[in-house]
Chains A and B, each alone.
Chain A
Amino acid sequence: MNGESNISGQASDENVSRSRGSVSSSVVHDSAFKHASGQAIYVDDIPMPEGCLHIFVVISTCAHAKIGAVDFCAAWESEGVVAVISGDDIPGVNDIGPIISDEPLFAIGAAGGIVECEGQALFAVAALSLDAARAAAAKVKIDYEDLPALLTIEDAMGAKSWLETPYKMTRGDVGAAMRASPHKIGGQIYIGGQEHFYLEGQAALVVPGEDGDVTVYCSSQHPTEIQHKVAGVLGVSFNAVTVEVRRMGGGFGGKETNGNLPAAVAALVAKLTGQAAKVRYDRDEDMIMTGKRHDFRIGYHVGFDDDGRIHSIIMDQAARCGWSQDLSLAICDRAMFHADNCYYLANVEINSYRCKTNTVSNTAFRGFGGPQGMVAIERVIDEIAFKLGKDPLEVRRINFYAAEKDTVSDRNVTPYHMKVEDCVIGEIVDELVVSSDYQARRTEIAEWNAGQPLLKRGIALTPVKFGISFTKTHLNQAAALVHVYSDGSVHLNHGGTEMGQGLFIKVAQIVAEAFQININRIKITPTNTGKAPNTSATAASSGTDLNGMAALDACTKIKKRLVDFASSKWCIARDKVEFRPGGVRIGDNELTFNELIAEAYLARVSLSATGFYATPKIEWDRATGIGRPFFYFAYGAAVSEVVIDPLTGEHRLLRVDILHDVGKSLNPAIDLGQVEGGFVQGAGWLTSEELVWDEAGRLKTHAPSTYKIPTASDRAPDMKIAIWKRGANREETIYRSKAVGEPPLMLGISVLMALSDAAASATGRVCYPSLDAPATPERMLQVITGGWG
């Protein structure tokens, strides 16, 4: 066990107690004790109101079918049943689609309807117990008349079944540059999807109030969207719905839109019965019903020179979006935005096909399409290096965007015509090559492999550049609400949600820093649409960037009032009022924060403020494919080393070295946690996590017994993770920090590339091992043996 990977590695050396909690200190997660002692409350733990109904949502067992008339009587007559609801019982609109209205809440009414995927909600039964609801639901006979189903990317591409016209980004003269390139290769990689496997499944509890209003307690990254969709289904205005989220037991994008359904169903039951109502999916239901990371098939043609420098590249990205749009268009856009990763592509064409299939509607997942785009270019680089007999690292370096410091080079424009002004990947990689002892290990591994009759090791270094901002520009806004009570204690609220990533503690640190008070004076409160309205999803790694700034804005307003008050009361210049640790210096007077607040209250100063933030500089014109969609980029790099058994295709991850840029860290302990967790999740995606559907489009891997996320022993025994010490955001972000939620996931790509390296050694480097993802033992054995069947 290497202590460096934990708090000791980069934690602040300051001798501050962990509870004081100003920015840049490693304050422990605000709920750490509640987590460990079982006192943290998740939706299913909320004590249920008297008479609370339990809801079972009945789902389609067919991928595409016409359902005939349905008789719900048997369910109505079943013991304990209070309501049976279908598409016929919706007072508002039968839709929960997040972007466009293409996702009915219930696929059928009494007259039947059409289902477009396995797991689509048909109707729901509310009863006194979940067992009773389930038993009643089983009594309803559903007649499916199968319709032809498009299940795979190949099916959809063949049928040109797309959610929108294929979208293209292009720069330079691809054709001419390709023709002029000394070397050309073409290939294709299939990249599997990924189940979120948040430990807490989807859940919502809805309590009816006066005037038909409802309060929704749910596990969602996007309370405002829940509010909107619930209001839509109920046919009420947004102000009749209040949504509260204290915390999620993991989100990872899976709770950005997929919470709409349970919340809307529970709200509907609450509205129709006047009783509180709860939905909680069990694990199998959750995995069958909810969207996942999109699987992609990416084809490529690349022209390059003897040094491995890419002159021209065409990439065709086809993504399986599922039966409805959900967030797929933006996800596919982000895959295109990350088709370059850290590499300057002088002449480039990226085509994107958004395949509509009769499978679950795929959704946001940490990285939001970026990881898939990035895997493909890393594959291309790997294959170029193989072709030229070079170390892939050499090819990576030669293609890097010009460094931030390089003012001469023009190799700094992305395929979407944005200038990369903050490229630090070269510096990070240089440091990591040294700290990981990359070169010597590469030599040692080659020697070891030569001497081994069976096992082979492999190593790879891959970089990450990840664009920060929602690419839908209007989403880059946030609101906060800060109250200072007359005893000096602070109530903090903002639009961001806590899913374990440490957003709440980071924002609290920002408030503690602003007021120079101990963090335990700040009450972190649940996200609530009644307090911070019109919020964006906590997504795109933006939580702290946006909500931290909004909270700081609120604090700044209150501080300004306090300064005005103190300056007038003590007749002193405003700049002589200073918030310091332990108190407020007002000229020669020093008051505690509490004393100042008490005085200000008596003087009738407003001690509450809302804060707001909108990210500057960004603009994006999707029609022309030109703009600056990102405020800045976050960077990182990882070296992974693996060993494989070429007789079985099994592998093990042996060592990982990571250097990651979080700008100036707000909380090194939290950031390291994001880096490590992201890496392991990314490595899992590309290795053991395999989603399998049968030929009828039914998911066969819908529980942890069949879907394998990494467990403790899958983590490399030797893992060295460091935050890049020289990191500082050149843009004016909150305390010059950088977003950290998603970027580290893509460090996991180094594992796939290390496996590719090991596979090449196992086959004597004769032909390139085109290893698809996830690199299960079966896929590995296939590339080593040249396939079968």
Chain B
Amino acid sequence: MHDTISFYLNGELKTLRGVAPTQTLLRYLREDEKLCGTKEGCAEGDCGACTVNVSALSADGTVKREAINACIRFMPSLEGASITTVEGLAHDIDTPHRVHQAMMDSDASQCGFCTPGFVMSLYTAYRNRTMLPLAAANDVLAGNLCRCTGYGPILHAAEKIGCVAKAVDQGEDDRVELEQLRSLDHQELVEIKHGAARAFLPATSDQLAKVYAAHPGATLISGATDVGLWVTKARRNLPKVIFLNRVRDLTSIKRSEHELIIGACVTYSGAIGILAQAYPDLGELVRRIGAVQVRNAGTIGGNIANGSPIGDMPPALIALDAKLVLRHGMQRRTVSLEDFFLAYGRQDRKPGEFIEAVHVPLSAAANELKCYKISKRFDQDISALCGCFNIKMSNDRVIAARIAFGGMAATPKRALSVEAALIGKRWDRPTVELAMQEFTKDFTPISDMRASADYRLRVAQNLLLKCFIEMETPLTQTRLVGHGNTFL
């Protein structure tokens, strides 16, 4: 049995025994390795000051290089990975890294505290040969907050870096990295003991099923974008945890004629391409979940399992009538996603049972699914509410409607009365206006720091109207950001 974790840190092999299951990578870097270039700005994955590059082998044997937030990444999850921190780039002012040079040439730092995080987001893009024209650069940097510059100089640097990344031969770096990752690759279950605490790192879904059945009280940790905060913010002690990030057979996406089958451990970043292709609005919704660092870590299965009332993806998936495959040991069952959410904080998941896959029907036409996320800021924000509409028409009449909202109730939930007021009716403004009145029957939202109950209800109603306008007059400009917006 493996009881250590091994990883590369700035090219150097590290093997740790008995690491605390919820020690964060940030604390390890700053406190144990004295690598203080990686900063703590928020300890919740929202500012990016702790961004580092983590490379790992994908299921297909290629290297996946990703920017992640070290503040909410737990050490055991780095088994088999290669980590590059800002210290790994260059130390000598006479031989700066190209990313450093671009930042300096663009006057892209002022106080400098956020800068290493920006550098690492850009470094990751550089290693991935990502071109960074404005929209792409905005996306790559959305998870990095800067309070000084106003971002212009950093975006300028990004553009330069995108251009040189393609021109520079990085082949040798790639080869070394691949070799290192392969040398650490194995399929054994890792079990780490730290005092009375335990961490398990299964490498396959069968190992996961077995270990979770044996330890049903354990906390499953996938991207830790939520569980990370239980530790860094709520300061909870998690005595027994199972990490899912090595379970490669849950990271595939299969496409059939009728549905997409998404493995529970597919990250948002892994899913965004195919989802955007199937449903452009769903792709846009995923683009607005967190930012790059969060989407690289967070998984579709984790998003559903944590049962947030806001839900990020669930409103859209409920509107599409997605199904979950739940597994306990070798037992599997299928539930529809809308039935999975029982009440606030409660889901239809038995002890030892985990989500194995999400089945997303492809029955709606690409543009039939309309998703609207409303928040105070477009990027890296949590919905005040999120409305998703899947309305089918025949001869000007609504023949089917699935409308689901997040942020309007204790769970992501369908607007059944609204749907009923539409089905069978002529799809016109009077119908829509009558149906808008039905929202009060479906939802009694709460007021919180994101929005008031009144606002939520009013906007939910207006979103139905917006959906109507978009379907009736598709050429009308209705979008401020993302696909379909005609502004710069």
A711 at the interface (CB under 8 A from B): yes
- The listed residue (B99, B103, B159, B233) touching A1 by CB distance below 8 A is B159
Q: How far is the CA of A652 from the CA of B51 in the complex (A)?
A: 27
Q: Which residues 219-236 of B have a CB within 8 angstroms of A?
A: 233, 235
Contacts of B106 on A, CB cut-off 8 Å?
A: 6-7
Contacts of B103 on A, CB cut-off 8 Å?
A: 32, 35-36
For B90, B152, B378, B463, the residue with the greatest tally of chain A CB atoms inside 10 Å of its CB is B152
A1 in contact with B459 (CB, 8 Å)? no
Q: Which residues 198-246 of B have a CB within 8 angstroms of A?
A: 233, 235
A643 in contact with B463 (CB, 8 Å)? no
For A713, A777, A788, the residue with the greatest tally of chain B CB atoms inside 10 Å of its CB is A713
Q: Chain B 471-488, CB within 8 Å of chain A: the 1/0 string?
A: 001001110110000011
B466 in contact with A648 (CB, 8 Å)? yes
A483 at the interface (CB under 8 A from B): no
B111 at the interface (CB under 8 A from A): yes
Contacts of B291 on A, CB cut-off 8 Å?
A: 711
Q: Which residues 341-391 of B have a CB within 8 angstroms of A?
A: 372, 374-382, 384
A455 in contact with B152 (CB, 8 Å)? no
A651 at the interface (CB under 8 A from B): yes
Contacts of B107 on A, CB cut-off 8 Å?
A: 6-7, 26, 28-29, 32, 669-670, 672-673
Q: How far is the CA of A251 from the CA of B145 in the complex (A)?
A: 15
Q: How far is the CA of A33 from the CA of B119 in the complex (A)?
A: 11
Q: How far is the CA of A134 from the CA of B454 in the complex (A)?
A: 39
B18 at the interface (CB under 8 A from A): no
A618 at the interface (CB under 8 A from B): no
Contacts of B134 on A, CB cut-off 8 Å?
A: 1, 717
A455 in contact with B110 (CB, 8 Å)? no
Q: How far is the CA of A680 from the CA of B146 in the complex (A)?
A: 10
A284 at the interface (CB under 8 A from B): yes
B46 at the interface (CB under 8 A from A): yes
B379 in contact with A711 (CB, 8 Å)? yes
A704 in contact with B145 (CB, 8 Å)? yes
User: How many Å from the CB of B143 to the closest CB on chain A?
Assistant: 8
B59 at the interface (CB under 8 A from A): no
A89 at the interface (CB under 8 A from B): no
Binds B, one of A294-302, A494-502, A620-628, A726-734: A494-502
Nearest-neighbor residue (CB-CB) of B114 within chain A: A199
Q: Chain A 694-733, CB within 8 Å of chain B: the 1/0 string?
A: 0000001101111011111111011101000000000000
B300 at the interface (CB under 8 A from A): no
- The listed residue (B96, B449, B487) touching A643 by CB distance below 8 A is B487
A595 at the interface (CB under 8 A from B): no
B481 in contact with A647 (CB, 8 Å)? no
Contacts of B478 on A, CB cut-off 8 Å?
A: 454-455, 645
Contacts of A141 on B, CB cut-off 8 Å?
A: none
A197 in contact with B147 (CB, 8 Å)? yes
A650 at the interface (CB under 8 A from B): yes
B151 in contact with A454 (CB, 8 Å)? no
B172 at the interface (CB under 8 A from A): no
Contacts of B382 on A, CB cut-off 8 Å?
A: 705-706
What does DSSP make chain B's interface, helix, strand, loop or mixed?
loop
Q: Which residues 740-789 of A have a CB within 8 angstroms of B?
A: 776-778, 781-782, 785, 788-789
Nearest-neighbor residue (CB-CB) of B85 within chain A: A38
Contacts of A197 on B, CB cut-off 8 Å?
A: 145, 147
User: How many Å from the CB of B8 to the closest CB on chain A?
Assistant: 18
A714 in contact with B111 (CB, 8 Å)? no
User: How many Å from the CB of B286 to the closest CB on chain A?
Assistant: 16
A705 in contact with B46 (CB, 8 Å)? yes
Contacts of A284 on B, CB cut-off 8 Å?
A: 233
B138 at the interface (CB under 8 A from A): yes
B44 at the interface (CB under 8 A from A): yes
User: How many Å from the CB of B151 to the closest CB on chain A?
Assistant: 4
B319 at the interface (CB under 8 A from A): no
B459 in contact with A199 (CB, 8 Å)? no
A282 at the interface (CB under 8 A from B): yes
User: Given contacts A688-B377, A703-B44, A711-B380, are A455 and B100 in contact (CB under 8 A)?
Assistant: no
A676 at the interface (CB under 8 A from B): yes
Q: How far is the CA of A28 from the CA of B93 in the complex (A)?
A: 13
A42 at the interface (CB under 8 A from B): yes
Nearest-neighbor residue (CB-CB) of B101 within chain A: A36
Give the A-B pair count, Cβ closer than 8 A: 300
A715 in contact with B151 (CB, 8 Å)? yes
A68 at the interface (CB under 8 A from B): no
- The listed residue (B96, B148, B380) touching A33 by CB distance below 8 A is B96
- The listed residue (A7, A36, A502, A705) touching B119 by CB distance below 8 A is A36
A148 at the interface (CB under 8 A from B): no
Contacts of A44 on B, CB cut-off 8 Å?
A: 30, 36, 40
For A197, A677, A721, the residue with the greatest tally of chain B CB atoms inside 10 Å of its CB is A677
Contacts of B87 on A, CB cut-off 8 Å?
A: 37-38
Q: How far is the CA of A652 from the CA of B481 in the complex (A)?
A: 8
Contacts of B110 on A, CB cut-off 8 Å?
A: 29, 250, 500-502, 673, 677
B49 in contact with A199 (CB, 8 Å)? yes
For A36, A134, A654, the residue with the greatest tally of chain B CB atoms inside 10 Å of its CB is A36
Contacts of B42 on A, CB cut-off 8 Å?
A: 283, 703-705
Q: How far is the CA of A700 from the CA of B372 in the complex (A)?
A: 25
Nearest-neighbor residue (CB-CB) of A669 within chain B: B107
Q: Which residues 101-139 of B have a CB within 8 angstroms of A?
A: 103-116, 119, 133-134, 137-139
B112 in contact with A40 (CB, 8 Å)? yes
User: Given contacts A33-B104, A453-B473, A652-B487, are A38 and B86 in contact (CB under 8 A)?
Assistant: yes
Q: How far is the CA of A680 from the CA of B154 in the complex (A)?
A: 14
A33 in contact with B147 (CB, 8 Å)? no
Q: How far is the CA of A704 from the CA of B47 in the complex (A)?
A: 7
B455 at the interface (CB under 8 A from A): yes
Contacts of A35 on B, CB cut-off 8 Å?
A: 103, 109, 111-112, 115-116
User: How many Å from the CB of B282 to the closest CB on chain A?
Assistant: 19
Contacts of A391 on B, CB cut-off 8 Å?
A: none
Q: How far is the CA of A248 from the CA of B111 in the complex (A)?
A: 7
A399 at the interface (CB under 8 A from B): no
For A42, A196, A648, A777, the residue with the greatest tally of chain B CB atoms inside 10 Å of its CB is A648
Contacts of A708 on B, CB cut-off 8 Å?
A: 375-377, 381
Q: How far is the CA of A693 from the CA of B448 in the complex (A)?
A: 10
Q: How far is the CA of A501 from the CA of B119 in the complex (A)?
A: 20
Q: How far is the CA of A785 from the CA of B97 in the complex (A)?
A: 53
Q: How far is the CA of A31 from the CA of B381 in the complex (A)?
A: 32
Contacts of A648 on B, CB cut-off 8 Å?
A: 372, 374, 459, 462-463, 466
Contacts of B47 on A, CB cut-off 8 Å?
A: 199, 283, 704
B413 at the interface (CB under 8 A from A): no
User: How many Å from the CB of B89 to the closest CB on chain A?
Assistant: 7
- The listed residue (A250, A453, A652, A788) touching B148 by CB distance below 8 A is A250
User: How many Å from the CB of A701 to the closest CB on chain B?
Assistant: 5
User: Given contacts A33-B96, A37-B91, are A199 and B109 in contact (CB under 8 A)?
Assistant: no
A681 at the interface (CB under 8 A from B): yes
B454 in contact with A38 (CB, 8 Å)? no
B34 at the interface (CB under 8 A from A): yes
Give 24 pairs: A residue, B residue, CB < 8 Å, sorted on A. Answer: A29-B107, A29-B110, A32-B109, A33-B93, A33-B100, A37-B37, A38-B38, A38-B87, A39-B91, A197-B145, A283-B44, A453-B476, A454-B478, A455-B478, A500-B111, A643-B480, A647-B463, A649-B459, A677-B149, A708-B381, A778-B384, A778-B452, A789-B452, A789-B454
Residue ranges of B at the interface with A (Cβ–Cβ < 8 Å): 30, 34-44, 46-47, 49, 85-87, 89-91, 93, 96-97, 99-100, 103-116, 119, 133-134, 137-139, 141-142, 144-156, 159, 233, 235, 291, 372, 374-382, 384, 448-452, 454-455, 458-459, 462-463, 465-466, 469, 473, 476-478, 480-481, 487-488
Shortest 5 CB-CB contacts between residues of A and residues of B: A38-B37, A500-B111, A249-B113, A35-B112, A500-B110
Beyond A455-B477, A706-B382, A711-B291, 15 extra complex contacts between A and B, CB < 8 Å: A1-B152, A35-B111, A35-B115, A37-B87, A38-B119, A199-B49, A249-B39, A455-B478, A500-B148, A652-B378, A652-B481, A700-B448, A711-B142, A715-B150, A788-B458
